[in-house]
Amino acid sequence: MRTLLLPVCLSAAVCIASGCVSARVPENIYIGSPGPQPADVDSSRVPDTQTHEQARAELVKAYRQIRYLEHEQDRCRRKLEEARERGDDYKRKYKRLKDRLDD
């Protein structure tokens, strides 16, 4: 079995090296879940800075905005969960009242 596999591997390596066979490589490789990926950065929105201190200040501002948005996202998730719980409560209450009226 090994003696048969060796010539096949060698011939495949020669074909690849000579350009007879080409393989298409993906542009982006995603590790983890195939969910939504972050969008490419729009460099036209990056502010122009003249000094290192200005760049550092812009970076601090950007991180502050990221923290704010993460906080808002957490707040919205909590509100959504609370609304779902209230909706489930109302559904259970409706079912109880419906069952009581049907009797």
* Within a domain: 11: no
* Within a domain: 16: no
pLDDT digits (tens, 9 = 90+) for 67-82: 999 999 999 999 999 9
pLDDT digits (tens, 9 = 90+) for 55-70: 999 999 999 999 999 9
* Within a domain: 29: no
Task: Count how many domains the chain has.
Answer: 1
Concatenated DSSP letters for 6-65?
Answer: HHHHHHHHHHHHHTSS--PPPS----S--SPPPPPP-GGGSPP-SSHHHHHHHHHHHHHH
> How far is Cα of residue 31 from the mean position of the Cα atoms in its chain?
10
* Within a domain: 25: no
Q: Which pTM was predicted?
A: 0.49
* Within a domain: 68: yes
* Within a domain: 59: yes
* Within a domain: 56: yes
Domain span at residue 86?
Answer: 51-103
